[in-house]
Structure formats: structure tokens, C-alpha cells
Amino acid sequence: MDNDKRKLVKLVTLGDSINAHMLVGALATEGIPALIHNENMSTLFSGLSVMGVDVFVYEDDLETAKAVLSRENDQN
């Protein structure tokens, strides 16, 4: 499958970029590529994100990514 044609879907919206990067690292460990969106908006107001930071994954990785998210939430 050509990666350029795969559909990205939002996995979660988090309150800050630090948690978003931690999640992306956990996803990468499982071999799941992820994209952070709105990261710059989270730093405009001294770390208070008005919009949240979105983490996107490929649609065909979504179910596995949800399991990683759940496991990360259980650990925190």
C-alpha cells in the first residue's frame, strides 16, 4: 500500500504538546507512525492550549493506536 494514499484520522486531542510527544513516542515503539497537529497553538498562551493538540494516525492503525492510548492512560 502506498503510504501517501492512506487516510489520517484523529486518535485523540490532548491538553499539551508534552503529552502528545510522549504518546507519539509510545506509538512509534509499537511501529505506528503518528502526526501532531496544533502543537504551536498550545504554546501561544504559556502552555495553556485553547484548542488542544491533536494526534493523528493512519486509519488502518487506529485500533492498535487506541490500545496503546488506553495502556498509556492506565500507566498515568
- Provide φ and ψ at 23, rounded to 5°: -65, -45
**Ordered domains of the chain (ranges, CATH):** 3-75 (3.30.70.790)
End-to-end Cα, the chain, rounded Å: 35
pLDDT tens string 30-55: 999 999 998 776 556 555 556 789 99
Cα separation, 51 vs 64, in Å, equals 25
% the chain with pLDDT above 70: 80
Q: What is the pLDDT of residue 73?
A: 84
Q: What is the pLDDT of residue 40?
A: 73
pLDDT confidence tier of residue 64, bands split at 50, 70 and 90? very high
